[in-house]
Structure 1
Amino acid sequence: MENLKGFTRTYSSFQAATFALSSCMQKRPKFLRLLCADAALRGEPSNTDLTALAASKLEEIAFDDNVRIYLKQKPKVNQNIKATALSSENAKFFYFNNGLTMTCDRLDYPTNTSGPIITLENVQVVNGGQTLHALFEAFTTNQGAISPIELLCRIYETKDRELSSRIAERTNSQSPVATRDIHSIDIEQITLEREFEALGLFYERKKAQHAGKPADKRVDAEKCGQVYLAFYEDMPLEAKNRKGIIFGAKYDTIFSSTTNAEKLLLPFELFDEIETFRAHNATGQRAWLAYASYHILFALKKVAEKKKIGLTYGNRAKISGLLDKAITAVRKARKAERDSLSNAGADFADVLYFKQKKAADQIAAAV
């Protein structure tokens, strides 16, 4: 790329046998220096000024060919990379991370010398931009913490821009592993599976994990997350329409160390009762029930709290007995909103009402 002409970096501590770009050999975060915006720092392999590096930043033009834009600390994957880099297990970072893929116009690799210094010209990081940015944030948080980290690095020398673009595209387009599948091997998930097994139930850490078992004995992890959001977190809207947060932003809340099988089973079974009621009654004037299951579960929790009934599995029968009151609260809130819109000459639709944040607030007020 024309704007990269002359953008040359000098590399050291590069293990040719494994293409591992190492910071461990001399306990310095060299892989960050190599791509920093300070030309003096990146051009001097022996520079050990960590303070100057922390005051610098990454050279963003080196990421122009990367198909992913780095969003500072927003995506959970970036937060996880930073957390791993600062953890006591960061020496294992090499095994947890896919590493970097770079292209360059020219690669100069001197032979017959120990500790060769490799020069790359017109470098582009086509895969691994998130890793480098998250590691730089980790470095500025704690300069000494990331010294044990090693990164796998692949470098392609080519002036063929079409080939370079294809490398960038292909190395970023592999089918991603679903977040749920990644979490399926978490100790929390395995522990829950064992707890449910002790109750005679089959907890599905992975989708359709126990497809051959009776349907009434299967407990789906995603469904557990949905009912948890509606019941414990007062988030019925998100429970139905934002399932992605279950194994994303809300994962640590839902599947925390205090979450056990009985805590999940309480709203799970209550929701089953609500769904059974809906299946037999969502017709005519009660057609609105087809859209309201998670909001009814939310209302059921609110009614139980008002009655000062603890949200424990031992109180399941008592809470279940409040279902009519919960349905009544949802019906009242819905009717009030419908009447308000009608008086204003506006249309009302159940499918839209239960997709609005205010529905939960109105239902809570109606309890």
Structure 2
Amino acid sequence: MSKPHVRFVAKTIKGRFSDLIDVSDQTNPSPEARHQAFLSRGLAALARQMVSPCTDVTAAQSVVDGRDDCGVDAVAVDPPSPQPHIWLIQAKWSDGLKGTFGMDEVNRMIDGLNYIVDLNFEKFNNRFRPHIPQLEEALDNASPRITLVLALMRVDPLHPDIVQLLKEKIKRFNQVEEMVDYKILDLRDFHRALLGDAAAPKIDTRVQLQGFGQEISPARAFYGTMTAPAIADLFAEHRRGLFARNIRDALDLTDVNVKIRNTLLDQPEHFWYFSNGITVLCESIQPIGRSLPGGVGDFALTGASVVNGAQTVSAIHRAFSENPDQAQHGRVLVRLISLENCPPGFGDQVTTNTNTQNPIEDRDFKSLDNAQITLRDEFALALGLSYVIRRGEQVPDPEHGCSITEAAEALAATHEKPEYAALAKRDPSALWQDEAYQELFGATPNVHHVWRSVQLLRVVRNELAKLRDSSVSRPAAMAGYGDLLIAHVVYQQLDNTDIEDPDGTWDKQLAQVPTLVADAIKWSLQSINREFGPKSHIIAAVRNTERIRRVVRSAVTGMSADPSSATERQERAPRVRQIETVKTLLTAERISDGTVLEFRPVTRTDRREMAGWLDEDAARGRAVWRNNDRAQLQWQADKKWYSPTGLVRKMRTMAYGMEQPVQGTLYWYVPDEGSLIDLADSIRAEQDLVVEEESVPGDA
């Protein structure tokens, strides 16, 4: 591929996004520099359309490139589903096919990923703000998938050291489960995507089926067994070109895909029985030789495309790459369907129907268990409530009952072993496997135990929602991710000896929960920081069975040994006289007079309630700094002077009537440098001072 192909992509970007992508923030006055910035952002928008199809307007709105983009040039979240998918895109344009992606780019993109996983959205610029609600919703899910997309205008492969560094960085996010992956798009991918079906590779290949059979009418088809090595070789040769007609391509990090790979590595002899198989559409199929049905047959395929089983194919390839000695024993059922002499649209019908059938889940089998049927009856007779056990049935309002799914989560949270809380958070479907299911429900589940566990989890979640909306940083992440962990810790503090007694006083226990939730968060965070470090991911602590065990042990012991709250305990600790943030900045003259600062909402409530108000007038989100003892910020909305905290208080009151105390230095950012408190902390670190934000004149 050469420069004409680059010009074709550039022309397409210009045609699609000229009036949609904003480059007004570019400070370089050179028209060529601004054009290159436009092409880079356009490439990010184009990549967004390729990984998550959308309109040109939506693609342009996905672009967040600019100052403080934290290595993310565009962001997309697929529509809500059982497993949300987040796409983080970094794009590098180059007219000369030298789109670079080196160590600095890897580190910046991983920094951005860290901020997102830890819910530190204020680290990003204001272009990023519209995407936060979707990201929060996706990350609230038990098992989101995140793909880092490298959109590079180049044809040469990345340097192996850079690829290895990226893999090592990503591996840290996948210690609990495979949550993060990466995808590289180069000129070939962009060119093929823009040409559409005309650029789809035509795959002609030969395959061998063991024990094959055939169908003659209405379409010619052959079916039989292929070995895992043969499938792996097929993918290695043709890669994603195999999936040109597939609706979903190969979704490498889906729960199904991981299970497929694990089955092939752990039980290769069972793989044929556990897999749904692979369906391949072909323009034509030609048997080679005179093989008879029931034997081994060789077939020449023209225009072959996997339309169902893309995940199976990619999972087999990855498993075979990881452990060929084990995976080579696997076999899989394959169907070859010829489109020769078929009516128009028949291939599309095959593709659609093979990809839209509802799979049967383990949970569906458990709904047939006599214990669940009995529990449903007891909910009605003993409690006057509904207990829904079948998928598709309407879930009752909270005051009228619950579902089997909510019950399983609640029982996992209140089980004596915290590992089940981690399992439920990591992979809810695993609760329906026989061993876990028996541990949670037992042979004869007690209706009062089940319902009271549900009540407890609901109270914990309601309290966490309040705290999450008003918290920042790690407490916000704990409130967002830690519902089952916190419920487990709280349950250990309650008198639960009579939880199964119909006459038990469970309401008195529930009344203690709100206070206990706040303390459980603080003790759990202390435990995580001590056990795994203050920069460790909260999401890992709540999903990993070993980590959650250590956190719970420490948190429960601490709360039980000291009846006072963690806050009171900290207040009793000796205080060191510490330097206040604004004074630190003024003394060091860290910020030059006239510097324009940017306001970024910190809490979820602020983001939700202030977004529209800020969008009404861009001046509301800007202030000019001066080095003054009393009023450092000139708000551009009214040209008056305020302290950082005083201005945030005024803005929150105007936006949505919030008058509670606030730490204003968290909200105001010097672009590309950090918040006021970040800058003060860096000064203190250089001076080796221990400091704490205190209220002093000038920051009230």
TM-score clears 0.5: yes
Match of 2:214, SS state, is coil
CA distances 1:239-292 after superposition (whole Å, capped 9, x unpaired)? 9xx9x9633x6656994442225488525225458989xxxxxxxxxxx8xx99
User: Which residue, out of 236, 239, 244, partners 1:59?
Assistant: 239
User: 1:303, 1:322 within 8 Å by CA — same for their partners in 2?
Assistant: no
Tell which structure's C-alpha radius of gyration is larger. 2
User: Who is 1:29 aligned against?
Assistant: 228
User: Which residue, out of 303, 307, 311, partners 1:122?
Assistant: 303
Q: Is the counterpart of residue 13 in structure 1 residue 210 in structure 2?
A: yes
Rounded to whole Å, the distance in 1 between the matches of 2:420 and 2:664 is 30
Rounded to whole Å, the distance in 2 between the matches of 1:105 and 1:158 is 6
Rounded to whole Å, the distance in 1 between the matches of 2:388 and 2:507 is 25
Which stretch of structure 1 is more off in the superposition, 118-127 or 81-90?
Answer: 81-90
Match of 2:504, SS state, is helix
Are residues 142 and 260 of structure 1, via their aligned partners in 2, closer, same or farther at CA, if it must alter by over 3 Å? farther
TM-superposed CA distance for 1:151, in Å, is 0.2
User: 2:280, 2:334 within 8 Å by CA — same for their partners in 1?
Assistant: no
Are residues 329 and 13 of structure 1, via their aligned partners in 2, closer, same or farther at CA, if it must alter by over 3 Å? closer
Are residues 298 and 311 of structure 1, via their aligned partners in 2, closer, same or farther at CA, if it must alter by over 3 Å? farther
User: Which residue, out of 488, 492, 506, partners 1:305?
Assistant: 492
User: Which residue, out of 273, 276, 279, partners 1:101?
Assistant: 279
Which stretch of structure 1 is more off in the superposition, 74-83 or 162-171?
Answer: 162-171
Match of 1:4, SS state, is coil
User: Which residue, out of 171, 174, 177, partners 2:356?
Assistant: 174
TM-superposed CA distance for 1:183, in Å, is 1.7
Match of 1:343, SS state, is coil
Letter in 2 for 1:269: R
Are residues 327 and 235 of structure 1, via their aligned partners in 2, closer, same or farther at CA, if it must alter by over 3 Å? farther
Q: Is the counterpart of residue 131 in structure 1 residue 312 in structure 2?
A: yes
User: Who is 2:645 aligned against?
Assistant: none
User: 1:267, 1:297 within 8 Å by CA — same for their partners in 2?
Assistant: no
Which stretch of structure 1 is more off in the superposition, 220-229 or 80-89?
Answer: 80-89
User: Which residue, out of 399, 402, 408, partners 1:225?
Assistant: 408
Letter in 1 for 2:254: P
TM-superposed CA distance for 1:153, in Å, is 0.8
Q: Is the counterpart of residue 157 in structure 1 residue 339 in structure 2?
A: yes
User: Who is 2:675 aligned against?
Assistant: none
Are residues 198 and 142 of structure 1, via their aligned partners in 2, closer, same or farther at CA, if it must alter by over 3 Å? farther
Rounded to whole Å, the distance in 2 between the matches of 1:225 and 1:312 is 16
Count of aligned residue pairs for this structure pair: 300
Letter in 2 for 1:64: A
Q: Is the counterpart of residue 269 in structure 1 residue 444 in structure 2?
A: no
TM-superposed CA distance for 1:191, in Å, is 6.6
TM-superposed CA distance for 1:20, in Å, is 2.3
TM-superposed CA distance for 1:190, in Å, is 2.4
Letter in 1 for 2:356: Q
Rounded to whole Å, the distance in 2 between the matches of 1:59 and 1:296 is 41
In structure 1, runs of 5+ residues without a counterpart are: 39-57, 277-287, 347-367
User: Which residue, out of 248, 264, 267, partners 1:68?
Assistant: 248
The within-5 A match list for 1:284-295 is none
User: Which residue, out of 201, 205, 216, partners 1:4?
Assistant: 201
Report the TM-score when normalising by structure 2: 0.33
TM-superposed CA distance for 1:67, in Å, is 1.9
Q: Is the counterpart of residue 322 in structure 1 residue 509 in structure 2?
A: yes
In structure 2, runs of 5+ residues without a counterpart are: 1-197, 216-221, 381-385, 460-465, 470-478, 522-566, 568-602, 606-657, 666-700
Rounded to whole Å, the distance in 2 between the matches of 1:303 and 1:12 is 57
- Coordinate RMSD, CA, aligned: 5.6
Report the TM-score when normalising by structure 1: 0.57
TM-superposed CA distance for 1:7, in Å, is 3.7
CA distances 1:57-85 after superposition (whole Å, capped 9, x unpaired)? x632122222213233x211112223443
User: 1:303, 1:325 within 8 Å by CA — same for their partners in 2?
Assistant: no
